[in-house]
Amino acid sequence: MTQIEITQTVLFDYLMAMSVNGKIEPRENAETLTRKKMLANIEKDFKEIESLGIDLLFEYATTIEHLKSISDDDFETLKDTIIKVDLVS
């Protein structure tokens, strides 16, 4: 997987959720999450994953690195792509 694919996979879990009717929909706060807020959430979860020994460290580290390297506008485009592509699917 490429860095962008890994990032999209990790962000999907933060942006999307299964509704009560079994549909995948954006989480309530998905539209308002900024790059900085998302980065803070993922960094916090990274520490927890690390302490628990869960085998997702590479994916989270890659996502953190990627989010630090892109602009806020690029993040918004990425976020919108994840939300809109899944809504069309």
Per-residue pLDDT band for 86 (boundaries 50, 70, 90) equals: low
Position 85 scores a pLDDT of: 73
Per-residue pLDDT band for 13 (boundaries 50, 70, 90) equals: very high
Q: What is the DSSP letter of 24?
A: E
Q: Which residue has better confidence, 84 or 16?
A: 16
Q: Read off the pTM.
A: 0.88
Q: Residue 20, SS3?
A: coil
Query: Can you tell me the mean pLDDT for 52-68?
Result: 95
Position 62 scores a pLDDT of: 97
Which H or E run includes 18?
Answer: strand 16-18
Q: Residue 60, SS3?
A: helix
